[in-house]
Amino acid sequence: MLSTSSDKMPQPRTGPLATEATIRTRVEVPVNLSDGSWRTAEMISFTGLADGREHIAVVFPSARSVPLVRVHSECLTGDVFGSARCDCGPQLAEVVDLFAETGGILLYLRQEGRGIGLYNKLDAYRVQDDQGLDTFAANRELNFSDDMRDYRVAVQMLRALDVARIRLRTNNPDKVRQLEDYGIAVEEVMPTGIHRTERNHDYLRVKAEQGGHTIELLGESI
What does the chain come to in residues? 222
Active site residue 147: yes
**Active-site hit among 70, 79, 87, 149:** 149
39 is catalytic: no
**Sequence-ordered list of residues with C-beta below 8 angstroms from that of 21, at least 6 positions apart, any chain:** 46, 47, 48, 49, 50, 153, 156, 157, 159, 160
Helix ranges (DSSP H) in the chain: 88-102, 118-131, 135-141, 152-160, 173-181, 201-211
Say if CB 217 and CB 201 are below 8 A apart: yes
**Euclidean distance between CA atoms 168 and 177, whole angstroms:** 11
Which one of 147, 152, 169, 196 is the catalytic residue?
A: 147
How many Å apart are CA 94 and CA 169, to the nearest integer?
11
List residues with catalytic annotation. 147, 149
